Structure 1
């Protein structure tokens, strides 16, 4: 029989072994553990959820990986994508690739009697992933592209619609200019309004038919300016990019969505620092409170320590009794902390009670990512770190004399 564990259970689950002081101390210890678990769960789940949501919004709009011509020179206006060495069928056959879509981009201006807005007209083809785009729509629908003739329907952002006082079915004139040429005017009909909450996208992009963009750029019918590649899992983007880069030809190159908007990635990196800092602070608070609980329990049970030593128990056995006892006191705090924390997270996940300013945070609702491994790891981590932290203060027991302890009152 494991004597320290057996004795710990006896005193931990006895109903008659707690005076008023120990009840208060035990309550404080459990409360600190519960708060530590709640704050840690919320911090990790919302932090990881925010990182994932922002990355997915960037990638679902413009592709996880884009293939561009090296002649484009980072311009908003697409250059013709070279077919030399471009193995699109092999790219589509990669296990992590979900879909691809071709496009041609050209910069221009939308103008009406109310205002004007600088835009990037992204012309997409019949392979446009409208189902993936649908999550961004706030009104209307995505342009229906057949690549037969010129489709005049466009989808603009809510920001552009507000600035230009546009609504569904309104007409708007776009102006495109090319070097040494007269401006080109095109009249479009607004068929959809979208919102990504990412300022760099919502301020600029207009989705329309690829043939308009080809005409403006002087491209032939089969020529394109780039390819958006959508992956099944954005977490594989760093591993998949080199594989795709080998299949695009030497005249083209690949760019990750996470590299297209470095300022957003810098913002996302802050989440890792905040998560680590908050969890560290909460862990320190929990450890301090649990050590306090242990020391007060030792002082309160000085007579019992003397009696155990008189009966032959070693200092090591008695230390383990009190460490086990303290850890058992923590268990209700862990249970209630997980229940309350998970309840809050599920409410936020399905009802979106807490909102954010998208201009500052790139998302309008606090997202939640619930991961069972992370939940279990938090509780186990608190238990293990607390157990290790209790070892040193438990050595106070070895300083207690059996004779003086039995006389202690």
Structure 2
């Protein structure tokens, strides 16, 4: 063991008369550990919330949508073939989007209607994970046209699987008696629940043919194309490739990041703000390191003078106290990592914290660790602890042996 390391450890774990220094050292370690553990747990929970929200948004929406500025798309089969050849695209499906009215004997509600192609939509959208009953294949059932609705919408209309609802389209036709809207009967063949009220209360799925008939569109018209990509974090890159592939205007592609930019920007800002606030806890822990080392320098003035009289250089004295602070930082950070990861795993496994239903999109706290966050937390804690050692170490190295031993 090196000379500086030996002295640093000896001073850090003082005994007898200097036992108070050991207590202060333990408090410093705990301060750093609690700060690091708080950062790990809070950022892990926020990452979990962000991922859960992203998954639910992408459950009912595609990673990328392609539309035409000229209006509805026709001849979309050729466009689908071109898009499928773009690197990163794993699935393409056409869709129709419209707003209309749904009614039953129990109530009336304005909804967003999505016309989908059941065979390809099931490969692009992941809403099947949230289906409580039925699914896209049920839309092709013979007889009355099928419709899939959200749990909240089903409650509002007082219907369940197998019950009928009416859809009223604003795009009607003129007759001798005036304007007559189109009204069609549908049978509920599926109910989903994402946990997001905006979707569960207003979004419904039918087949493309049913949507065209209800809206009075031609047989080969769609609103646009929905795409799934291999890496959701690169959806914006794939969107640009699709736009280039289709030759630009009037076609354009938008990723889920563009369509939900404000929401995820707010989540990112909140995560950053929480990180800064909790970093202050680590900063407080690092201040306690300064207190520990300053008290140790005052307590060990005679010992420092003796060491310097025996040949120890100012650089060696400085390194002794810098090593002490670094050891506190390493032990505190390591203990904080263990504590934070254990608490996070307990939250994930036992879910002993329940969230109020109806307030959040989930009823349990999600935890997701990002290794980038963990590296940044560990690095920041170590840097703060190291900086805290500089002033006390400098003061220790400035001692003059003759002055320190004059009154001993």
TM-score, normalised to structure 2's length?
Answer: 0.86
Say whether 1:165 aligns with 2:168.
Answer: no
**Residues 269-348 of structure 1 aligned to structure 2 (within 5 Å):** 269-348=268-347
Q: 1:145 to 1:57 in 2, by over 3 A?
A: same
CA contact (8 A) 2:325 2:388 kept: no
Task: Pick the aligned partner of 1:108 from 95, 100, 104.
Answer: 100
CA contact (8 A) 1:41 1:378 kept: yes
Quote the Cα distance in structure 2 between the aligned partners of 1:380 and 1:17: 35
Q: 1:206 to 1:349 in 2, by over 3 A?
A: same
Partner of 1:135: 129
Greater CA drift, 143-152 or 313-322: 143-152
Partner of 2:137: 144
The two structures, once aligned, show a CA RMSD in angstroms of: 2.9
C-alpha distance after superposition, 1:128-151 (max 9, x if no partner): 1267212222x2021316769777
Partner of 1:392: 391
| SS of aligned partner of 1:206 | strand
Task: Pick the aligned partner of 2:190 from 180, 189, 192.
Answer: 192
Task: Pick the aligned partner of 1:176 from 169, 185, 188.
Answer: 169
Query: Cα distance, 1:391 vs. partner?
Result: 1.0
CA contact (8 A) 1:103 1:123 kept: yes
Q: 1:170 to 1:303 in 2, by over 3 A?
A: farther
Partner of 1:371: 370
Say whether 1:8 aligns with 2:13.
Answer: no
Query: Cα distance, 1:41 vs. partner?
Result: 0.6
CA contact (8 A) 1:156 1:192 kept: yes
CA contact (8 A) 2:140 2:146 kept: no
C-alpha distance after superposition, 1:302-340 (max 9, x if no partner): 232122111121222112111111221333322221112
Q: Which runs of 5+ in 1 are unaligned?
A: 73-78
C-alpha distance after superposition, 1:24-66 (max 9, x if no partner): 2012101111111111112322223323332332223210111
CA contact (8 A) 2:69 2:252 kept: yes
Query: Cα distance, 1:408 vs. partner?
Result: 7.4
Quote the Cα distance in structure 1 between the aligned partners of 2:108 and 2:370: 46
Say whether 1:122 aligns with 2:139.
Answer: no
| SS of aligned partner of 2:184 | strand
Q: 1:258 to 1:363 in 2, by over 3 A?
A: farther
Q: 1:265 to 1:154 in 2, by over 3 A?
A: same
Partner of 1:27: 26
Query: Cα distance, 1:392 vs. partner?
Result: 2.5
| SS of aligned partner of 2:245 | coil
Q: How many residues align?
A: 400
CA contact (8 A) 1:174 1:185 kept: yes
Partner of 1:232: 230
Quote the Cα distance in structure 1 between the aligned partners of 2:298 and 2:2: 24
Q: Which runs of 5+ in 2 are unaligned?
A: 175-179
Q: 1:407 to 1:260 in 2, by over 3 A?
A: same
Query: Cα distance, 1:70 vs. partner?
Result: 1.4
Quote the Cα distance in structure 1 between the aligned partners of 2:90 and 2:353: 32
Partner of 1:207: 205
Query: Cα distance, 1:82 vs. partner?
Result: 5.6
Query: Cα distance, 1:399 vs. partner?
Result: 4.1
Partner of 2:241: 243
Quote the Cα distance in structure 1 between the aligned partners of 2:255 and 2:144: 29
